[in-house]
Amino acid sequence: MQKILTWLGRREIAFWIVLLMISGSMWLFMEVADEVTEGETLAMDEKILLSLRNPDNPEDLLGPPWLEQVGKDITALGGNTVLTLLSVWVMIFLLLIHKRKLALVVLLATGGALLASFMLKSGFDRARPDLVTHATLVYTSSFPSGHSMLSASTYLTLGALLAQFQTSWRVKLLIICTSVLLTLLVGISRVYLGVHWPTDVVAGWTVGSAWALMCWYLSRQFVHEKIDSEPVSHQID
């Protein structure tokens, strides 16, 4: 017991902040999942989804005709193909500059989110929205949104990783804001295209963000404790 207390006492403040944020995210996910399982969110989900449609004809999306194509382009940014290719490219780059530990973090961010998405979808097996015709093809169950989870885990992890090597707070802020914006846009596009309930997206964001936080903290330890094979001073400017 004394060893455990000593170990906990040595943890830096960042550890406790990350632990608190992960716990909060997972608590929110469990609350949403509980409400979804009991059917308490269906009325709200339907109202939000239909608010993005023409009241006279729910098959018509609100906005100009080109906006639907924009939604499809954005939703592709959260797809397995795009994020896998992006992650593989980043991992190869990190391996080439001898940052094997950080490459492992990227693999964990994307691969772990893919596995978690598959397991959660199989466990909940929620039906896709059937109020409107789907504007894009879907093959899996609805809860939680895999696109939202995977984009949160991958983009937030990559953004946090890149921001660690920047000295300007403005550049750091730009990178993080871009990562968050991409994550939000992908999730919103899933609801806009009618392939997910809003609560699916929120659940995906919570799990993906929690996973990204864990990956960020792990990468932070690798950088600050100089676990990588080269000194920090040789890393990306």
- pLDDT confidence band for 211 (50 / 70 / 90): very high
- Say if 53 falls within a structural domain: no
Give the closest residue to 93 by CA, choosing from 106, 108, 83: 106
Q: Give the chain's domain count.
A: 1
Mean pLDDT confidence for 16-24: 89
Q: Is residue 121 part of a domain?
A: yes
Strand partners, 57: 54
From 98, 134, 196, 224, active-site residue: 196
The packing angle between helices 146-163 and 100-124, to 10°, is 160
Burial of 74 (0-12, 13-18, 19+ CB in 10 A): buried
Tell me if 101 is assigned to some domain.
yes
- Mean residue pLDDT of the chain comes to 87
pLDDT score of 235: 47
**In-domain check, residue 62:** no
Q: What average pLDDT does this structure show over 4-9?
A: 52
Q: Does a cis peptide bond (omega within 30 degrees of 0) precede residue 198?
A: no
Evaluate if residue 213 carries a pLDDT over 80.
yes
**Any domain includes 46:** no
Banded pLDDT at 13 (limits 50, 70, 90): confident
pLDDT in tens, 67-124: 989 999 999 999 999 999 999 999 999 999 888 999 999 999 999 999 999 999 999 9
Annotated catalytic residue 98: no
- pTM value is 0.86
Q: Tell me which residue range forms the domain holding 85.
A: 12-36+74-128+142-232
Kindly state the greatest CA–CA separation across the chain.
Answer: 68
Please report which confidence band the pLDDT of residue 2 belongs to, taking 50, 70 and 90 as the band edges: low
| Whether 196 is catalytic | yes
Burial profile 170-196: b = 16 or more Cβ within 10 angstroms, e = fewer: eebeebeeebeebbbbbbbbbbbbbbb
Inform me whether the pLDDT recorded for 135 exceeds 90: no
Q: Distance between CA atoms of 120 and 152, rounded to whole angstroms? A: 16
Note whether residue 52 is domain-resident: no
pLDDT computed for residue 232 by the predictor = 43
Nearest in space to 102 (alpha carbons), one of 237, 235, 211: 235
List 98, 134, 147, 234, catalytic entry? 147
Taking alpha carbons only, the member of 136, 99, 121, 113 closest to residue 231 is 99
Distances (CA, A) of 167 to 2, 104, 152: 39, 24, 24
Is 223 domain-assigned? yes
pLDDT band per the 50, 70, 90 thresholds, residue 15: confident
Residue 21, in any domain of the structure: yes
Q: How far apart are CA 72 and CA 70, in angstroms?
A: 5
